[in-house]
């Protein structure tokens, strides 16, 4: 299996990733992403995803919370969870991830694997994400299974499909057992806030290229501006305006890395009406200018 690297992410109008992970016959893909300069911008997909931080520190932002992943830690993202991953440190950062469809484990929806194990996990609103720490035994087992599955998919020895499926099946069993363990539940208010924020994120993804106000974002889910801001701060830890800027800058990074378009054109396409503000915002968020970022990308890819 080819190890994929990060590339510009194509999404539909609702932020759903359009990429195919794996194939119809083996719906799993493994990724080795250098996060030193590039971010995985906000998106969601039907598949499940597991991430291991193999170098540096990563910040994982989701509609269900934000946390840091230190080297040696990992996480699980359930189906349909909007998320982004960025380098949270000053130095190099790298992740290994596996994105796989539930049918890799369950086969069909008529199977015992689907009814007894996958379905309870996919339907659990309190298991949108789980963080794995190496000093918690069951979570260490989960990360070991992820690492073995990733290695099998990356190296492709004979029968690697069996190994990857077996290890991810072990992971699903651990996660299903985790559902029965006592855990602090989200309140109905928190769940409602997460659902509202996910819908507002869809609105932002659809309209980021034009001027949009907090009032418009709030109206997309019939909220007041103050309640909209509260939902964002409670769920993502940022304001709606900050998310709009992050989405715009994420798209700008893709254009800078993959095209030769001029800075003015990129700024306009990404919703920035003033190039100087675009440069200033980029420096504040990414720690370098757009031009410097483009040069770093060219160096990494061997371009001029």
Task: Give yes or no for a contact between 173 and 211, defined as CB atoms under 8 angstroms apart.
Answer: no
Longest dimension (CA), the chain: 58
Could you say which DSSP state residue 184 is in?
P
Residue 300's pLDDT is what?
63
Residue 142's pLDDT is what?
96
Nearest to 125 by CA among 66, 195, 23: 195
Band (pLDDT 50/70/90 cuts) for residue 301 is low
What is the three-class DSSP state of 265? helix
pLDDT of 123-182, one tens digit each?
887 788 889 999 999 999 999 999 999 999 999 999 999 999 999 999 999 998 876 665
Q: Domain 28-179 belongs to what topology?
A: Jelly Rolls (2.60.120)
Question: Distance (Å, rounded) from C-alpha 118 to C-alpha 179?
Answer: 11
Question: Distance (Å, rounded) from C-alpha 151 to C-alpha 292?
Answer: 34
Sorted by sequence, the CB contacts under 8 Å of residue 195 that are 6+ apart come out as none
Identify the weakest region by mean pLDDT among 26-40, 182-196, 200-214. Answer: 182-196
Band (pLDDT 50/70/90 cuts) for residue 40 is confident
CA-based R_g, the chain, Å: 20
Q: Supply the mean pLDDT for the chain.
A: 85
Residue 30's pLDDT is what?
93
What is the rounded (10 degree) CA torsion for 271, 277, 282, 287? Answer: -170
Band (pLDDT 50/70/90 cuts) for residue 286 is confident
Band (pLDDT 50/70/90 cuts) for residue 58 is very high
Name which residue leads in pLDDT, 14 or 238.
238
Could you tell me the residue ranges of all domains in the chain? 28-179, 188-301
Helices 275-286 and 290-301 sit at what angle, rounded to 10 degrees? 60
Looking at the domain that runs over 188-301, which CATH code has it been given? 1.10.10.60
DSSP per-residue codes, 50-88 = EEEEEESEEEEEETTEEEEEETT-EEEE-TT--EEEEE-
Residue 82's pLDDT is what?
84
Name which residue leads in pLDDT, 249 or 185.
249
Residue 37's pLDDT is what?
76
Task: Give yes or no for a contact between 54 and 95, defined as CB atoms under 8 angstroms apart.
Answer: yes
User: Model-level pTM greater than 0.85?
Assistant: no
Same fold, 28-179 and 188-301: no
Give the end-to-end CA distance of the chain in Å, rounded to a whole number.
30
């Amino acid at each position: 299996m080819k190890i994929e690297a990060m590339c510009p992410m194509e999404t539909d109008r609702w932020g759903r990733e359009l990429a195919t992970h794996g194939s119809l016959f083996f719906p799993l893909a493994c990724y080795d992403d250098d996060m030193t300069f590039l971010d995985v911008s906000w998106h969601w997909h039907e598949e499940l995803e597991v991430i291991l931080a193999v170098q540096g520190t990563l910040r994982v932002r989701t509609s269900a919370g934000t946390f840091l992943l230190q080297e040696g830690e990992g996480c699980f993202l359930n189906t349909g969870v909007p998320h982004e991953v960025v380098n949270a440190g000053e130095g190099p950062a790298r992740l290994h991830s596996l994105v796989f469809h539930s049918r890799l484990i369950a086969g069909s929806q008529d199977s015992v694997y689907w009814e007894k194990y996958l379905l309870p996990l996919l339907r659990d609103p309190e298991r949108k994400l789980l963080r794995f720490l190496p000093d918690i035994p069951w979570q260490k087992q989960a990360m070991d299974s992820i690492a073995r599955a990733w290695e099998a998919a990356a190296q492709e020895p004979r029968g690697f499909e069996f190994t990857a499926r077996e290890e991810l099946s072990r992971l699903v069993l651990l996660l299903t057992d985790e559902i029965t363990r006592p855990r602090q539940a989200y309140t109905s208010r928190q769940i409602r806030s997460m659902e509202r924020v996910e819908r507002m994120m869809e609105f932002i993804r659809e309209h980021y290229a034009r001027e949009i106000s907090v009032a418009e974002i709030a109206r997309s889910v019939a909220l007041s501006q103050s309640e909209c801001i509260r939902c964002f701060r409670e769920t993502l830890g940022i304001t709606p305006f900050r998310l709009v800027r992050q989405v715009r800058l994420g798209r700008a990074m893709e254009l800078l890395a993959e095209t030769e378009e001029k800075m003015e054109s990129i700024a306009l396409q990404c919703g920035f009406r003033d190039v100087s503000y675009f440069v200033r915002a980029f420096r504040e968020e990414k720690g370098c200018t757009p031009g410097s970022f483009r040069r770093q990308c060219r160096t990494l890819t061997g371009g001029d």
